[in-house]
Structures are given as structure tokens and as C-alpha cells.
Structure 1
Amino acid sequence: MKLNLSRRDFGLTAAQMMVGSMAGGALIGAGPVFGQANRAVNLGTFGSIDAQNYIRAKGLAEKTFGAGTKVEFVTVRAGSEVISAMAGNSLDMCNLGSSPMVVGYANGVQASLVYIYKNIVDSEALVVQNSANIKKLSDLKGKRVGLPFNTSVHFAALAAFKTAGLGVNDVQLINMRADTIASAWTRREIDAAYIWVPVIPKLVEDAGTVIFKTGDLNTAAGLVMFDAFLVRDEFKKKNPDMVLAFLKDFEQIATTFKQNPKEVVDTMTKFLGVDEAAVMRSLNTFYPVSAKEQLTAKWLGKPGEKNSAVVKTLQVQAEFLKETGQINALPKDMNGLVDSSFVAQLA
């Protein structure tokens, strides 16, 4: 399959990623997949406080996917790497933002959005310098805004500006990597930044104020912003029981993340070598969506249902990606990216 991928670092392949294996342990809740040996799953993780690393840390992988199943944890650095790896059949499941999903879909990558990982509410936000005299979005006209281009926050920023009557030429957008924004902020080289946690609290502590959160787009523009699990279609067709087993466990882990943060902090600080504050920032901005709610038109909708809120958001993102040259043509039917059949089995 020939790809025309232009989103950030799409040339990177799974060969550049770190791959690790973990297995064993007792599983919370969901039963194992029985009766099939010599099976394998490549499960992606961003190396952060996510369900995949929780499974890894607790030694639950074998029980989730079944005895004899080879489970590989593939560490990725960007959504573009997830799409590239799935195109190369070296990654089966991973959570990621919706923008790279659309880029992959537009370029023929055979994968499906099967479950909403989290509702993005306040883990992405627009922060302004207190000294810049910016009180509302319309005050950004002519101001310097730093953000990483071709990402979910790039889309969210332009969507936010549009609600205030601002076009792309009304604001000085500066393309910056997430790890360079804080230093540019300290040097007062930018007036504002649209970025994600953990950068947001650093900017707020350094004379900054949040004036818009990505979650505000729901009310302001009718868009639902989310991260979701993407599954390679061939793997999904051959191993639907493994996909379902993982999603069942994810639902229980998501409950643990919200109801027992102390246990998660204890586990993840030791496993990832991060401090308690970093884990709590992640947990405090994690908003799972129940399977029952995902089946409504506000999210994925029921199997076969067309033009749910998620699909409408994906369509708007596709238009944005086309306008900014990240895809060459709009997909004919964005409904084809969404498969809510697994959610229906969980609801």
C-alpha cells in the first residue's frame, strides 16, 4: 500500500520504536481468552500514565489476552508513529488523538476507531501571559501564539479562534515543539500557547492564565474532542475476542484511575520513575466515557448509525487537515472509520 503521509514524522516506522514484552500476573475482572495458542498482540503505549502501562506494571497482560499469547508493548512518541506502524502491520492497538487517525484514514490505512479512550476537557488549553492584556479569545488578534503544528491542539486552536471571528491570518501562529514552549514562554517570546498537560501548569505557574480549554469546543462549536483506541482492521477481524477482552479490562482500569488514585500513584511512580504530582496531573485530566454513553449519538452511536457527533467532529478535522495541506483529499465517508460494535457488547 502506498502512503502519502504528511503529518509530523510520518516517515518514522515501528523499527525505530522501543519494544518490550510483559506477561503474567492475575487480572482484575475480565476473563482470559481461551483455546487459541500461538497468538500475538502488539499493544501501543506512549510511555505515560495509561491503561497499557498499568497492565504492564501489574503484570496482567497474559491473563488479559490468554495463556500462550505473546504480548508486546510498543512505545511510541507520536500519533504519526502509531499510524505508520499500523500501516506496516507492526502495531495492533493503541490510543491516540483523532487528527492522526483522520490522516491515516485519508491515506488508506486499514484501522478502526473502536472505543473512546477519554473525553478531552482540560488536558489541552490556551494559556496567555498575564502581561499580554488578553482577557478573551478576540484579544488574540495580532498576538504571538506558540503551539505544535499538525496536532490536536493546532486543530483545537483554529476551531477556538473561529468561534471568536478570528481567521488563521489574524493571529501570529508559531510552530513549536511541546518541549520548547516553556522556555519560549519564560523569555516572553510568545504571548500565548495552546498546549497540553504537563506543560500547562508550568505556564500557569510562570505568570499565565488559562482562558480557553479544548473541552469548551463542545459548547462553543458543537465538537467533541477525544482520544480513542484505534485497532488495525486485520487484527480486529482475526482476533475480536482479544480486542473485547482488552476493552473490558480498560473499563475496569479506568474506574480504578478515578476511584483509587492512591493505588495508581503507588504503582505508576515506581514503574515509570515519575513523581506523584505527574501521576495526579494525568489522573485529574482523565475523563473516561462509559460504553453506554458512547453508544449515543453524542459519541459513537450504535453500530450502523451514521453521522454521530464523533463522525461530525472527524469530518471537521478532515476539512481542517485538507485546508492546511496535511491530506490531499477528503475521505468520501468518515463513518467508515468508526466501529462501535465492541462498545455495543460492553454497554
Structure 2
Amino acid sequence: MKLSLSRRDFGLMAAQITVGAAGTTLFGLPSALAQQKSVNLGTFGGIDAQNYIRAKNSMAQTFGPGAKVDYVTVRAGSEVISAMAGGSLDMCNIGSSPMVVGYANGLAASMVYAYKSIIDSEALVVQNSSGIKTVGELKGKRIGLPFNTSVHFAALAALKGAGLGPGDVQLINMRADTIASAWTRRELDASYIWVPVIPRLVEDGGTIIFKTGDLATTQGLAMFDGFLVRDEFKKQNPDLVLAFLKDFDTIAREFKQNPKEVVATMTKFLSVDEAAVMRSLNTFYPISAKEQITSKWMGKPGEKDTGVAKTLKVQADFLKESGQISTVPKDVGAMVDSSFAMKLAA
């Protein structure tokens, strides 16, 4: 059997032979190589921190030179949950609603950071031709959206705020990548969806009448995407989790403070136009580590009465009412682990 080693591998072997501190394993490889740490990192394939790391080829800078990174592209929160349950995905950003669904169904994973505050990156768009001006006027109308996602919850919450229930409208379960074509065929009266689909609907005869950020003022809910980590991976590799979150904070600032560089990098990497990248950057609202550990967001470790905990509980109740989960977890806030945020905020 022929074994191929890179110049870096030879360097590592030589260094260990010199100091005589490392043992050897199969094929005489030093144990540092045999025990190489790895992470299956999820990305939604768009303008997220994970894809930025990928585009910049900066995995070693983020996780350290000894870590192996495999990227897993997902299209929806339900895919994140399924992949984590199967052990093929370790860390990924995800909407809080599918996160609750996973937790209620026994997924051993923790929210370790609020990935972003959701304000205008998700919205309810109506066809101009429908004449609909308010959420209350959606009674009996066809609304396309992906189920078991953050927009599904936001849609139900918006409808409830307008005095409507799921049975008062026609909710149609659709993948995000099929909504624009259905919209063009005028098969939908409305859609609750996220960027980059929103601007496509608006440009094709649509008007935004409600944004997810409106739930903060109408119902006191802090809406967010969370960064979810498999508990087993977190226990075995807390250093990799913390390393990513440290770099994420840096990348989040880069997204807001140096958009020209981000646009140049992601435009080339994703083969999309600059306007599409800027739309994503303009609707990205990061939360600093110090903000994360306040009661408005995750709170300090062990804190119960927090904004994140309240939102998760309300979402769990909605999910139970709409039949998406069979039981509400006794303490849905137990899935929140703010210990990493505490370390970053120190």
C-alpha cells in the first residue's frame, strides 16, 4: 500500500521525531495525524459565514491547521435537523422554528449562538393584482412557504395577530427554490419567504405587507437564526466550536464594515451579481457576544427568563397547535447553551 504525504505532513513527522514526544500508530504515522480533528460544517450555499470561509479558503485560520473541514450544503432547516440526527452534520445556522422541531423530536443538539437577528430578511409578499393590503385580508388566500421553517412560524404568528388561524387560509408547502416560478404563474396570492427570493417576487408584481421583524413590536418576540451544534460534537470538540464562533464574530463585522471585499469575494465564488450579494449583506444583523448574554437574547448560562427562551416557547406552542410536533418540550430553553458566548464576551 502506497501512502502519500504532503510537505506539511513530512514537516509534522520530522518535528515529532525530533522532540521524541509523540507515539506512532498504523503505518508509523504520528498520533497527531491519526487523531486529526474534523468538522462537518453546514452552509445554505449563499452568503453565510461558512461559505465565506470556504470562498477565502481560510479553514486553517478558522479552526487551526490540524482540522479537516467538510462542507455540507443544505436547503432548509429540516435538512439540517435530519443531517444532524444522522451524524453527518456537526454545526450549522438554522431558523429557530425547525430547531424547536428537532429538539421536540429528540435531537441532541444545542443552540450556542444567535447567528443573526431577523428583521427584514424574511417577509410576507402579496400579489399586487390581489388587492390585498393587510394580513387580515388573506382569509381564503393561497400562501406559499416552506413548512417547518422560521417563515412558517412567522406566517402563523402574523396570521394570529390579525385574528386568523391556519384553517382560514390555504397554506401551501413549497421549497424556496420553487416559489418564484409558482409566483410568476400566478398560482399564489402571497408568499412568506426569505432573501434572495423576496426581491424576485417584488420585482415580479409583489408588495411586502409584513416583515418578521414586526413580531418584535407586535408580539414582543425576538426573532433570530441560531447556530446549532450536535451535543456529541460539542462535548468532544469544544475548541472547534469556540474557534468558529470567534471567527464568526470577525466575519460578521467584515460583512457590515467592509462590504466591498465581501461582495468581490462572494460574487466570484457564487457566480452571482453584486446586487444579490448586497441584498443579503443589507439584511444581515449580527449580535455581539456581549449582547448575546443579555436577557434580551440568550442570557448567561442557566438564565431562564430570556428573549430567546420566550421565543422558543412561543414557537413550540405554535408548532403543537399546528400539528408539527406532538408534544411541547417541558423546558425548550434547555437547548440553549450560552457558555461559549460567555467566553467570547469576557
Q: Where on the TM-score scale, by shorter chain, does this alignment land: which range? A: 0.7 to 0.9
Larger radius of gyration: 2
More helix by share: 2
Question: Residue 209 of structure 1: SS of its match in structure 2?
Answer: strand
How many angstroms apart in 2 are the aligned matches of 1:189 and 1:335? 39
Tell me which of 103, 107, 130 is aligned to 1:105.
Answer: 103
The amino acid across from 1:46 in the alignment is F
How many angstroms apart in 1 are the aligned matches of 2:271 and 2:179? 24
Q: 1:171: which partner in 2?
A: 169
1:112 and 1:232 in contact (8 A); partners too:
yes
Tell me which of 297, 300, 318 is aligned to 1:299.
Answer: 297
2:49 and 2:248 in contact (8 A); partners too:
yes
1:182 deviates by 2.2
How many angstroms apart in 1 are the aligned matches of 2:58 and 2:172? 43
2:78 and 2:149 in contact (8 A); partners too:
no
How many angstroms apart in 1 are the aligned matches of 2:288 and 2:195? 23
How many angstroms apart in 2 are the aligned matches of 1:38 and 1:108? 29
Q: 1:133: which partner in 2?
A: 131
Q: 1:216: which partner in 2?
A: 214
How many angstroms apart in 2 are the aligned matches of 1:71 and 1:144? 42
How many angstroms apart in 2 are the aligned matches of 1:82 and 1:176? 17
The amino acid across from 1:156 in the alignment is A
Q: 2:87: which partner in 1?
A: 89
1:145 and 1:193 in contact (8 A); partners too:
yes
The amino acid across from 1:230 in the alignment is L
1:146 and 1:176 in contact (8 A); partners too:
yes
Q: 2:250: which partner in 1?
A: 252
- In structure 2, do the counterparts of structure 1 residues 183 and 90 end up closer, same or farther at CA, with 3 Å as the change threshold? closer
1:129 and 1:209 in contact (8 A); partners too:
yes
Question: Residue 184 of structure 1: SS of its match in structure 2?
Answer: helix
1:104 deviates by 1.3
TM-score by length of 2: 0.86
Q: Structure 1 runs of 4+ off > 4 angstroms?
A: none
Tell me which of 308, 311, 314 is aligned to 1:310.
Answer: 308
Question: Residue 213 of structure 2: SS of its match in structure 1?
Answer: helix
The amino acid across from 2:314 in the alignment is V
1:81 deviates by 2.1
1:307 and 1:335 in contact (8 A); partners too:
no
How many angstroms apart in 2 are the aligned matches of 1:267 and 1:317? 36
Tell me which of 99, 119, 122 is aligned to 1:121.
Answer: 119
Q: 1:66: which partner in 2?
A: 64
How many angstroms apart in 2 are the aligned matches of 1:212 and 1:168? 17
Q: 2:192: which partner in 1?
A: 194
- Which digits, 9 at most, give the CA deviation of each residue in 1:54-96, with x for residues without a partner? 1111121112222222222222222222222222222211111
2:78 and 2:148 in contact (8 A); partners too:
no
1:128 and 1:192 in contact (8 A); partners too:
yes
1:226 deviates by 1.1
The amino acid across from 1:194 in the alignment is Y
Are 2:310 and 1:319 equivalent residues in the alignment?
A: no
How many angstroms apart in 1 are the aligned matches of 2:174 and 2:268? 31
Gaps of 5+ in 2: 1-7, 9-30
Tell me which of 38, 41, 44 is aligned to 2:39.
Answer: 41
The amino acid across from 1:50 in the alignment is D
How many angstroms apart in 2 are the aligned matches of 1:163 and 1:306? 26
Q: 2:14: which partner in 1?
A: none
How many angstroms apart in 2 are the aligned matches of 1:176 and 1:42? 27
2:101 and 2:148 in contact (8 A); partners too:
no
Tell me which of 270, 277, 298 is aligned to 2:275.
Answer: 277
How many angstroms apart in 1 are the aligned matches of 2:182 and 2:40? 37
How many angstroms apart in 2 are the aligned matches of 1:180 and 1:64? 34
- Which digits, 9 at most, give the CA deviation of each residue in 1:287-310, with x for residues without a partner? 111111111111101111003111
- Which digits, 9 at most, give the CA deviation of each residue in 1:218-263, with x for residues without a partner? 1111111111110111121222122111101000000000111110
Question: Aligned pair count?
Answer: 314
- In structure 2, do the counterparts of structure 1 residues 86 and 186 end up closer, same or farther at CA, with 3 Å as the change threshold? closer
1:313 deviates by 0.9
Question: Residue 63 of structure 1: SS of its match in structure 2?
Answer: helix
Question: Residue 142 of structure 1: SS of its match in structure 2?
Answer: coil
RMSD: 1.8
- In structure 2, do the counterparts of structure 1 residues 238 and 159 end up closer, same or farther at CA, with 3 Å as the change threshold? same
The amino acid across from 1:315 in the alignment is K
1:127 and 1:208 in contact (8 A); partners too:
yes
The amino acid across from 2:41 in the alignment is L
Question: What percent of counterpart residues are identical?
Answer: 76
TM-score by length of 1: 0.86
How many angstroms apart in 2 are the aligned matches of 1:257 and 1:274? 17
How many angstroms apart in 2 are the aligned matches of 1:293 and 1:97? 19
The amino acid across from 2:211 in the alignment is K
